[in-house]
């Protein structure tokens, strides 16, 4: 994996963290967020 690809992945994950933080602010349950987070990370780390 090139440095550019790795950087793109990190940027995507960072964007997801921002979105998830917004959802926490909207009062979504922690359990649902943990499941979402796990799925998102698995998806991005696999691709």
Cα separation, 36 vs 24, in Å, equals 12
| Residue 24: band (very low, low, confident or very high) from pLDDT cuts 50, 70, 90 | confident
**pTM summary value:** 0.48
pLDDT at 28 over 80: no
How far is the CA of 22 from the CAs of 3, 4, 7, in angstroms?
29, 27, 23
- 47 pLDDT more than 70: no
Q: How many domains does the chain have?
A: 1
Is 47 or 38 the better-scoring residue by pLDDT?
38
Phi, psi of 17 (to 5 degrees): -60, -45
pLDDT in tens, 9-22: 888 888 888 887 77
Residue 40: domain span: 3-46
């Amino acid at each position: 994996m090139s440095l550019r690809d790795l950087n793109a992945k990190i940027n995507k994950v960072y964007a997801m963290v921002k979105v998830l933080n917004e959802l926490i602010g909207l009062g979504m349950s922690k359990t649902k967020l943990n499941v979402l987070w796990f799925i998102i990370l698995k998806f991005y780390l696999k691709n």
